[in-house]
Amino acid sequence: MKKRWQKVILVVLLFFWAGGTYYGYQQTTGSRDKLQKVTIGYQKGDPVDVSRSRGVLVKKMKELGYRVVFKEFADGASEMQALAAGSINYARTGDTPPVTAAASGTDIAYIAAGASRSSGSGILVQKDSDIDSVKALQGKKVAYTQSTSSQFLLLQALSKAGMSASDIEWVNMKQADAAIAFSKGDVDAWVTWDPYTAQGQVTQQAKLLTNGDGLSQNRDFILSTQQYAKKHEAVNEYLVKYLSEDMTWANEHPKALTKLLTKALGMKQTIVAKMVDRRDWTLTPMTKAIAKEEQTIADVFYENDLIKQRINVSDDVIYVSE
């Protein structure tokens, strides 16, 4: 009698196991079709994340014969590695990753640029911290992520305050670890970008010591490799076109966008609203002026000995026709 029950339980459990596995299999693969696959790397709450959540881009690209797949990354530095390895075809990063990647010999192509995100990027300190200016960071521990926009912003802030890079203690960590280190007070300040900035401000009432105004535009960039982008000019054009359409939608519908991102990010609505309120959404082909901004970053990094060779950004730019 007992054996029979055991068999019944076992069969039921194995049945659920097989069912769950099959369900999971369907979730991972999606439809198997003859469409050409285009993989885009993105980060939480960025323009690509907006397009992904909205779903219009995927549909339009499908009509043109492309299957767009999105891969999420924690920061731009990891995206550049994936881009170099060929795991992704396009990447959306901040302004610094392409510079450091190009300096280390990675094949980079700038495809498109976004609006300035200077008001959502900045240096956070704890709510009861006595640090009230960038100068007061002297000798303090500041968390940042190497080869991301946070590194450039911090460098610029220090130089604007008349300090040198060695005046503070640089603590290089991933943003996820920095969030925890900051909340526990293991570091005195944290250089970050939205949505992390908004997250810190809302949930921990952290103070924004300075935002990126006048320091770093921290634009969004859509990047690819020369090798891929030159062979897929049509994809470049379609992507820029549809991403920029999605950005126009985002600018015109802040309420719907907040709702969409709240769901996509799994964050509190107040945090997302803060982030959405203080930034513009645009995405345009590269311009000479924006390439020049990137050149400034490259030069600052070279002068600070953070990259080993001088690079010429304009060599890497691909001007997509609108």
State the residues that interact with another protein by CB under 8 A. 3, 6-7, 9-10, 13-14, 17, 20-28, 44, 70-74, 78, 82, 85, 87, 175-176, 179-180, 183, 196, 199, 203, 263, 265-267
CA gap 21, 254 in Å, rounded? 39
β-strand pairing of 36-42 with 66-72: parallel
Nearer to another protein, 8 or 56 (CB): 8
Min CB(267)–another protein separation in Å: 6
Min CB(34)–another protein separation in Å: 19
| 188 SS3 class | coil
Nearer to another protein, 157 or 267 (CB): 267
Min CB(264)–another protein separation in Å: 10
Nearer to another protein, 11 or 64 (CB): 11
Tokens 């002026």 found at: 289
Nearer to another protein, 176 or 234 (CB): 176
Nearer to another protein, 70 or 242 (CB): 70
Residue 3: CB partners within 8 Å, gap ≥ 6? Answer: none
Q: What is the token pair recorded at 271?
A: 């945090």
How many CB atoms neighbour CB 253 within 10 A?
13
Identify the sign of the CA torsion 68, 72, 75, 79.
negative
β-strand pairing of 141-144 with 169-172: parallel
Nearer to another protein, 74 or 208 (CB): 74
Rg of the chain (C-alpha set): 22
Tokens 């960071």 found at: 137
Min CB(286)–another protein separation in Å: 27
Min CB(32)–another protein separation in Å: 13
- 32 sits in the region (left: phi over 0; alpha: psi -120 to 50; else beta) called beta
Tokens 């300190």 found at: 125
Min CB(318)–another protein separation in Å: 25
Q: Phi then psi for 107, rounded to 5 degrees?
A: -75, 115
Which of 188, 192, 186 has its CA nearest to residue 148? Answer: 192
Min CB(271)–another protein separation in Å: 9
Nearer to another protein, 5 or 305 (CB): 5
Identify the sign of the CA torsion 257, 263, 264, 270.
positive
CA gap 241, 112 in Å, rounded? 10
Nearer to another protein, 3 or 288 (CB): 3
CA gap 214, 227 in Å, rounded? 35
Min CB(270)–another protein separation in Å: 13
